[in-house]
């Protein structure tokens, strides 16, 4: 069943219940949609697009920050039979043009934050028409979203959609270069609903706090587990520890998906006394889960000290596997914190060597996954598709090992392995170790060129606010590591992460591995 039918069913069954809430702490604004209003808004856009000749096989890009209109627009595109093409809102003008052309996009829906980035590239994207603007003061080259849908019918468009129809093009995070366009069908989207709901048991009573960007598979697909059963979502515009905790309290959120830096910031704010938990209503909050990047076990130990009643889970996935859930830890397995878990619901996993054969238990190999959420392929890139898909199984590019209990532990990205003096070093292991230091907020380990050894280990260290330490103290701390794994260079600076929480190691290598390293101040 296509995911669009869930929205229509909820509008029929409990249309007056709230489906989406937008909270803007900075302005104090709060907006909401019922299920009936959500469905009607998506139908209006679908019918308006169809009247403009945009239907099956066409592609409509979304370039917007999180807002109440985002999901109705997404579902409206799907209801036409066209493909939704969510865009990273951090893209610069040239990247926007590149991705629109790569996906052969026919139309663009965009918000006011992007006028200055879209207008200069109009001549580079001649196939993109119309431009649909969501906001006030519509620019001359675009048409108003509100006017477009104002007179459109709220009836469901008569467009048959099957599980095998193409549904969406997502873009890879670009942490290893230019993004690739990832093609998914409707079966992929629906499978993410089923997997997520099986893992976390969402009901209509659950309220999912959505903070990460909706253009990414992670945030939406976690809420899709709630969508399956009619559970609502709260869209939080802005990220501070106080705003997150306050929104959980006021909106009575039960499920919160965090990135590692946000969880770290919340705990640090509590430690500094900036957040006093007794001032909030948090007893309904039942599940905190994290994904998108490796999770330091020390972070979860701290979290459980502050929130002992929380269920905790971590989910592993890629945009190529329709986001989270192809591997998951499971709330009952917190004793295995640090592992990413076992095969998720509807998924099969395998760790393989360079020849594609299963590795012996405990040995490092590449994680390969198989399930209904595997992409159809990289759009217009048969060579990359053939390299990533082998016998229906997706080669993830992540190196991993399986322990004696069948739990999978990430070792590192295949491209991030550091080879020093012939020894393979996996940065995640060193990052997890350094995260245990009381002064360290975040850390990224990269390889730096060395004439004798080929590469040496460098650690980019971001200190907690107000924390002080010295290189000598960090070196002493690292004596617990084997000598060949100890960082040779320490760079005290901010650790850059993309909107989905992944460390931007390409940027770090460009900055530090191409020449001399200049150490920053030891104080933050």
| Strands, E assignment, 135-213 | 143-144, 166-171, 181-185, 207-210
What average pLDDT score do residues 126-150 get? 96
Q: Position of tokens 């937008």?
A: 22
CA distances in angstroms from 448 to 49, 105, 421, 453, listed in the order given: 51, 40, 13, 10
Sequence length of the chain is 524
Using CB atoms within 10 Å of the CB of residue 315, give its burial: 0 to 12 exposed, 13 to 18 middle, 19+ buried: buried
Residue 420 has pLDDT above 80, yes or no: no
| Residues contacting residue 13 through CB under 8 Å, at least 6 positions apart | 230
Backbone angles phi, psi at 415, to 5 degrees: -80, -10
pLDDT of residue 465: 86
Do the bridges between strand 348-352 and strand 454-463 make them parallel or antiparallel, or are there none, so unpaired?
Answer: unpaired
* CATH match for 1-8+32-157 among 3.40.50.2300, 3.40.50.1460, 3.40.50.980, 3.10.20.600: 3.40.50.980
pTM reported for the whole predicted model: 0.83
**pLDDT tier at 366 (50, 70, 90 boundaries)?**
very high
Residue 238 · residue 25 · CB < 8 Å: yes
Q: How many C-beta atoms lie closer than 10 Å to residue 14's C-beta?
A: 15
230: left (phi > 0), else alpha (psi -120 to 50), else beta?
A: left
Q: How confident is the model at residue 61 (pLDDT cuts 50, 70, 90)?
A: very high
Percentage, residues of the chain above pLDDT 90: 71
Cβ–Cβ under 8 Å, residues 84 and 60: yes
What is the model's pLDDT at position 90? 82
Judged by DSSP in three states, 260 sits in helix
Fold adopted by 417-512: GMP Synthetase; Chain A, domain 3 (3.30.300)
Residue-level pLDDT at 516 = 41
Q: What is the pLDDT of residues 396-418, one digit of tens each?
A: 988 899 999 999 998 767 677 78
Over range 201-228, report the average pLDDT: 93
Q: Where are the domains of the chain?
A: 1-8+32-157, 417-512
Token duo for residue 386: 């053939």
Q: What is the DSSP pairing of strand 393-402 with strand 365-370? A: antiparallel
Residue 515's pLDDT band (boundaries 50, 70, 90)? very low
The model's confidence at residue 385, banded by pLDDT at 50, 70 and 90, is very high
Q: Once rounded to an integer, what is the mean pLDDT over residues 475-491? A: 88
Q: Tens digit of pLDDT for each residue in 451-466? A: 667 788 999 999 988 8
Characterise 235 by phi-psi region: left (phi > 0), alpha (psi -120 to 50), beta (else): beta
Categorize the per-residue pLDDT at 282 as very low, low, confident or very high, splitting at 50, 70 and 90.
Answer: very high
Structure tokens at 311: 């269920």
């Amino acid at each position: 069943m296509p995911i669009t039918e869930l929205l229509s069913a909820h509008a029929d069954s409990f249309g007056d219940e709230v489906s989406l809430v937008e909270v803007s702490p900075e302005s104090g604004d709060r907006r909401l949609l019922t299920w009936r209003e959500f469905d009607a808004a998506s139908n209006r856009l679908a019918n308006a697009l169809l009247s403009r000749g945009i239907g099956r096989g066409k592609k409509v890009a979304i370039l917007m920050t999180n807002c109440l209109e985002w999901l109705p627009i997404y579902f409206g595109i799907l209801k036409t039979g066209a493909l939704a093409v969510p865009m990273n809102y951090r893209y610069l003008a040239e990247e926007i043009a590149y991705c629109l052309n790569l996906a052969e996009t026919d139309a663009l829906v965009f918000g006011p934050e992007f006028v200055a980035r879209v207008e200069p590239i109009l001549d580079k994207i001649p196939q993109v028409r119309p431009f649909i603007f969501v906001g006030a003061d519509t620019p001359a080259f675009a048409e108003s979203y509100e006017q477009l849908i104002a007179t459109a019918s709220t009836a469901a468009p008569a467009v048959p959609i099957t599980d095998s129809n193409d549904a969406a093009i997502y873009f890879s995070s670009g942490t290893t270069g230019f993004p690739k366009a990832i093609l998914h069908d409707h079966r992929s989207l629906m499978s993410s609903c089923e997997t997520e709901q099986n893992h976390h048991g969402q009901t209509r009573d659950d309220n999912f706090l959505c903070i990460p960007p909706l253009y990414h598979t992670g945030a939406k697909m976690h809420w899709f587990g709630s969508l399956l059963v009619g559970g609502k979502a709260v869209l939080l515009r802005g990220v501070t520890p106080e705003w997150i905790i306050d929104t959980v309290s006021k909106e009575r959120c039960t499920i919160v998906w965090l990135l590692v830096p946000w969880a770290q910031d919340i705990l640090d704010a509590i430690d500094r006394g900036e957040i006093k938990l007794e001032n909030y209503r948090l007893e309904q909050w039942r599940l905190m889960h994290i994904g998108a990047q490796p999770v330091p076990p020390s972070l979860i130990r701290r979290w459980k000290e502050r929130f002992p009643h929380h269920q905790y889970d971590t989910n592993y996935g890629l945009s190529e596997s329709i986001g989270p859930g192809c591997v998951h830890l499971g709330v009952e397995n917190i004793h295995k914190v640090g592992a990413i878990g076992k095969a998720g619901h509807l998924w099969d996993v395998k760790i393989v060597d360079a020849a594609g054969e299963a590795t012996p238990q405990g040995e490092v190999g590449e994680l390969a996954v198989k399930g209904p959420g595997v992409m159809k392929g990289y759009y217009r890139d048969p060579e990359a598709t053939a390299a990533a898909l082998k016998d229906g199984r997706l080669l993830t590019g992540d190196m991993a090992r399986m322990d004696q209990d069948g739990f999978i532990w990430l070792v590192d990205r295949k491209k991030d392995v550091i080879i020093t003096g012939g020894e393979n070093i996996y940065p995640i292991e060193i990052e997890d170790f350094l995260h245990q230091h009381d002064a360290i907020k975040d850390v990224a380990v990269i390889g730096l060129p060395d004439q004798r050894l080929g590469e040496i280990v460098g650690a980019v260290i971001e200190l907690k606010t107000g924390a002080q330490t010295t290189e000598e103290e960090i070196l002493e701390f690292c004596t617990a590591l084997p000598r060949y794994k100890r960082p040779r260079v320490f760079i005290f600076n901010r650790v850059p992460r993309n909107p989905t929480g992944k460390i931007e190691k390409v940027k770090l290598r460009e900055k530090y591995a191409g020449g001399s390293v200049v150490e920053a101040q030891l104080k933050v």
